[in-house]
Structure 1
Amino acid sequence: MKTPTQHTRPLSPPAQPASAAAPMARREFLSTTTRAAAVSALAGVALPHVHAAEDSTIHLALIGCGGRGSGAAADALRSTTGPTRLVAMADLFEDRLTTAHRNLTQAFGERADVPPDRRFLGFDAYRHAIDSLRPGSVVLQCTHAAFRAQHLEYAIQKGMHVFMEKTFAADPAGIRRLLKAGEAAAAKNLKIGCGLMCRHSSARQALIQKIRQGDLGEIHLIRAYRMDSGYLMGPFNGRENELLWQIRRPYQFYWASSGIFIELMIHQVDECCWIKDAWPVSAHGVGGRAPGLADASQNLHSYAIEYTFADGAKAFVTGRYLPKCHSDFSTFLHGTKAAAQFSGDIHAPTVRVYKDQRITGDNLAWRPDKETKSPYQAEWDALLTAIREDRPHNEVQRAAYSNLAAIMGRAAVHMGRIITWDEALNSHFSFYPDVDKLTADSPAPVRANPQGFYPVPVPGVWTEI
């Protein structure tokens, strides 16, 4: 791997063979040959004109070329709403950019049209990638939360539409920047899509409609779980650039990605708020680290958060990341008339209503029609259609508020006290205010102790609101 310098440079042609294997992430962007075949089938389709562009092709720039970014780019290129073309890529790390470019080129051929002079490396690579776009293009912001506001502001300044992946901000100061940027985008009639894809699930939308109609009665309780075997990190060895070492491991540091709880649970927190059609007024919680585990990260290993809504309803959100324990990945809700499951394992559309409060297979009252389109694809189709037809489409406030609700819960656990919505919304706290000034030569925002371990929250002492 070449260390990115302070100055952006185009990437040289890849040296690896085309057959080299690529690492996969949560969002698998080339999971079946059927998807690849669908790409080829689009070649001869007649497609509509794009507003404010010289032809009907929407150009794309991918900022952040890990598995999540590669998956988002594939969804954009796979859309049947009209032709799209990837024309620029940017990342801090050459190996990630090279792998992503190779895989996308193999899958989409000439529609991944990114020659070496439009592949950029470095902390300012995002600017060069955005500058290479034409009006009406889309910037895919798939880096870590620490850089989201900075990249969004520049894209809006340049008049670009944006798709940004979760998480969106690591702290309240980042949320404030996002909200302001979202207002600027609306004033310019720019379209912004945000990667809380479950909002675009047709099965969940059908259940939301039943909730709004009162079919389940008043919703007094929601339960959401994400429990798995964990994400332990070894000590920092002191021999590498500590900043870049942390950015390679973003889920282990609050400043970089907001930490493992929000990275994993923002979807479930968003589901709770969607079900209630409201934002929580307060959060309280507990959590901790398991003794005896050699985990050098900042993360706690368990989180249990009680959200309270204005009508007194509760949402309990539970995360645990330890081996050899019960695992779960689901969201349930309980109304005065009936209970329902809202979401299933790995965000599966496991949606069903029960006859009463018993959540058992022999007690089903309703299921939605089977989904015909992945929510990952549906969110992209919605954004691209809004661009082509000049429809309003700005998901920034909703995404930022869901992220803030997650920050509230994390802060309640870390600080050991009740955190209110108004307190979180009005906070200016930042884990690292100088994030926009980072270069490859900057010291890391958080430093390891002599044993290579990083500071962890201590309730009653820690501050993040």
Structure 2
Amino acid sequence: MKRREFIKSAAITGTGMLAAPNVLGASVGIGNQDRLKIALIGCGGRGTSAALDALRCGVPSELVAMADLFSDVIEKQYKALSDRVDDKTQLKVTEKTKFIGLQGFKEAIALCDIAFITTPAAFKPVIFEEAIKQGKHVFMEKPVCVDAYGFKKILETAALAKKNKRYVAAGLQRRYSQGYQKIVELIHDGTIGDVFSAECYWFGGPIGDLSRPRKDSWTEMEFQNRHWRSFSWVSGGNIIEYHVHNLDVINWALKQDNPLSVTAHGGKTPEKLYSGSLGGFDSVSSNFKYENGISVHSYSRNLPNCSSKNGEWFYGTKGRVVITGNDAKAYNNKGKLIFDIKEEYEGKFHGVHSAVQKTLLEAIYHKKKYINEAFYAANSCMTGVFGRMSAWSGKTLNWEDAIASEIKLFDYTSETDFNSTPPIVPLANGDYPVPVPGKTKVI
């Protein structure tokens, strides 16, 4: 089977939940009081919160290893966990199981049943592959890739995980929201008829900044990784780092893995500080075309002192759905309210991260239905990459050509360390290069 055919087949057959045989990592199972062993790989705030949620979810578990690029990050977050975990016996991390640097993840994975991969997106395809090859289950925070090469590696590894029945959960937590589940169910049931158009927004403040001073001891590689949200090669840019949540809802509600084509544009403020704009853009607007002629308008912007807007709009032959803030409303074509789904009745629309970890650990420990969310996570992240590729190049792109691209934003190898040269370096005037539509090649 050709590589492109494999990717397409994996995307179609791997989505969703599948019945699983009696297969689990380590020796854990029903009636077994052994704890699930967790390794936290990427010890930022999101990863630490995910680990804490897992330790608190009621499934016997313990944290046995931590891996991060920086020792000071591990020490800070280990203290945070120590202060917040009720049962201190769940913290089994020792000085010998704290792993530092760009290669430490391998040793951490070897000690666990479940690898929590919460690094920046650029590193996830390689770490995910290592975890599955070592036979581990995985929680992988979004986003999961920064380019088409990483997308293909995620899908290939997801297929291997499926074959070996390794459970995989992803951090696209809106799929766990009861409010979102209800409104998406109404869309699928035809409440607003056939959807012909949609739009989604993530307009907010900066998600990265360079205001913290650079230390003389830092190499350029360390500096960029300590400010990873500001560099598109590490984070993927704002359209992937945050806006992926909206794009995932679009794919989910339309029951389509991905759009067919995209025309996008974007830009960068003269400021040097913000949201994946170094080596990329801080604003991207995309028009995605899906099957059945559905047109989706996507808007991503992360800049200070601008209007904020976040949500999804769906337009159908019988009405429309509006999802904003903590509720979702459906109207008929006369503007009459049909449904009003509020957080106070349906549970949180956002911030249901803990449900992801609880579902994963319960599924593994109690041998519940097989979970592999890497497929839809990869497709939703690649949807964002797809829009960014179009904006950077200034070209209308189709999906098949985009995912065939072998251009990497970053080549993460077993030799990568802080003395490696990052994918972009400052120009003579101190500025970092940015894409030039019409010149930048993405395919």
Structure 2 length as normaliser, TM-score? Answer: 0.86
Matched AA of 1:323: P
Matched AA of 1:366: D
Question: Residue 84 of structure 2 corresponds to which residue in structure 1?
Answer: 107
Question: Residue 156 of structure 2 corresponds to which residue in structure 1?
Answer: 180
Matched AA of 1:330: G
* Separation in structure 1 between the aligned mates of residue 213 and residue 434 of structure 2, nearest angstrom: 15
CA contact (8 A) 2:109 2:115 kept: yes
Cα distance change, pair 99–119 in 1 and its aligned pair in 2 (3 A): same
Question: Residue 366 of structure 1 corresponds to which residue in structure 2?
Answer: 340
CA deviations 1:107-152 (Å, max 9, x no partner) are 112212212121111222111111223xxx1100011111111111
Question: Residue 361 of structure 2 corresponds to which residue in structure 1?
Answer: 384
* Separation in structure 1 between the aligned mates of residue 231 and residue 272 of structure 2, nearest angstrom: 16
Instruction: Work out whether 1:454 is the aligned partner of 2:415.
Output: no
Higher mean C-alpha displacement, 281-290 vs 367-376:
367-376
Alpha-carbon shift at residue 237 of structure 1 (Å): 6.2
Cα distance change, pair 68–372 in 1 and its aligned pair in 2 (3 A): closer
Alpha-carbon shift at residue 236 of structure 1 (Å): 9.2
Alpha-carbon shift at residue 328 of structure 1 (Å): 1.0
* Separation in structure 1 between the aligned mates of residue 428 and residue 119 of structure 2, nearest angstrom: 29
Alpha-carbon shift at residue 400 of structure 1 (Å): 0.7
Cα distance change, pair 444–317 in 1 and its aligned pair in 2 (3 A): same
Instruction: Work out whether 1:193 is the aligned partner of 2:169.
Output: yes
Instruction: Work out whether 1:132 is the aligned partner of 2:111.
Output: yes
Instruction: Work out whether 1:146 is the aligned partner of 2:122.
Output: yes
Matched AA of 2:238: I
CA RMSD across the alignment: 2.3
Cα distance change, pair 242–372 in 1 and its aligned pair in 2 (3 A): closer
Cα distance change, pair 403–53 in 1 and its aligned pair in 2 (3 A): farther
Question: How many pairs are equivalent?
Answer: 405
Q: State which of 353, 357, 378 in structure 1 corresponds to 2:330.
A: 353
* Separation in structure 2 between the aligned mates of residue 302 and residue 281 of structure 1, nearest angstrom: 22
Question: Residue 201 of structure 2 corresponds to which residue in structure 1?
Answer: 225
Alpha-carbon shift at residue 228 of structure 1 (Å): 2.0
Cα distance change, pair 168–280 in 1 and its aligned pair in 2 (3 A): same
Matched AA of 1:106: D
Q: State which of 51, 55, 62 in structure 2 corresponds to 1:77.
A: 55
CA contact (8 A) 1:235 1:452 kept: no
Question: Residue 310 of structure 1 corresponds to which residue in structure 2?
Answer: 291
Instruction: Work out whether 1:325 is the aligned partner of 2:306.
Output: yes
CA contact (8 A) 1:60 1:86 kept: yes
Question: Residue 334 of structure 1 corresponds to which residue in structure 2?
Answer: 315
**Unpaired stretches in structure 2, ≥5 consecutive residues:** 1-26
Matching of residues 114-129 of structure 1 within 5 Å: 114-129=93-108
Alpha-carbon shift at residue 318 of structure 1 (Å): 0.6
Alpha-carbon shift at residue 321 of structure 1 (Å): 2.5
CA deviations 1:390-429 (Å, max 9, x no partner) are 3211111111111111111111111111111111222222
Cα distance change, pair 143–209 in 1 and its aligned pair in 2 (3 A): same
* Secondary structure at the counterpart of residue 226 of structure 1: strand
Alpha-carbon shift at residue 252 of structure 1 (Å): 2.0
CA deviations 1:54-105 (Å, max 9, x no partner) are 634211100010111111111111213x211111111111111011100111
Q: State which of 282, 286, 289 in structure 1 corresponds to 2:265.
A: 286
Question: Residue 239 of structure 2 corresponds to which residue in structure 1?
Answer: 261
Cα distance change, pair 234–458 in 1 and its aligned pair in 2 (3 A): farther
Alpha-carbon shift at residue 276 of structure 1 (Å): 0.6
* Secondary structure at the counterpart of residue 441 of structure 1: coil
* Separation in structure 2 between the aligned mates of residue 371 and residue 169 of structure 1, nearest angstrom: 30
Q: State which of 217, 222, 243 in structure 2 corresponds to 1:244.
A: 222
Larger RCO (CA under 8 A, 6+ residues apart): 2
Structure 1 length as normaliser, TM-score? Answer: 0.82
* Separation in structure 2 between the aligned mates of residue 382 and residue 418 of structure 1, nearest angstrom: 39
* Separation in structure 1 between the aligned mates of residue 339 and residue 418 of structure 2, nearest angstrom: 57
Identity %: 28
Cα distance change, pair 111–234 in 1 and its aligned pair in 2 (3 A): closer
Matched AA of 1:103: A
Q: State which of 336, 349, 352 in structure 2 corresponds to 1:375.
A: 352
* Separation in structure 2 between the aligned mates of residue 226 and residue 423 of structure 1, nearest angstrom: 27
Alpha-carbon shift at residue 370 of structure 1 (Å): 2.2
Question: Residue 28 of structure 1 corresponds to which residue in structure 2?
Answer: none
Alpha-carbon shift at residue 354 of structure 1 (Å): 2.6
Alpha-carbon shift at residue 293 of structure 1 (Å): 3.1
* Secondary structure at the counterpart of residue 443 of structure 1: coil
Matched AA of 1:286: H
**Unpaired stretches in structure 1, ≥5 consecutive residues:** 1-48
Q: State which of 400, 408, 430 in structure 2 corresponds to 1:422.
A: 400
CA deviations 1:24-48 (Å, max 9, x no partner) are xxxxxxxxxxxxxxxxxxxxxxxxx
Matched AA of 1:389: H
* Separation in structure 2 between the aligned mates of residue 167 and residue 105 of structure 1, nearest angstrom: 27
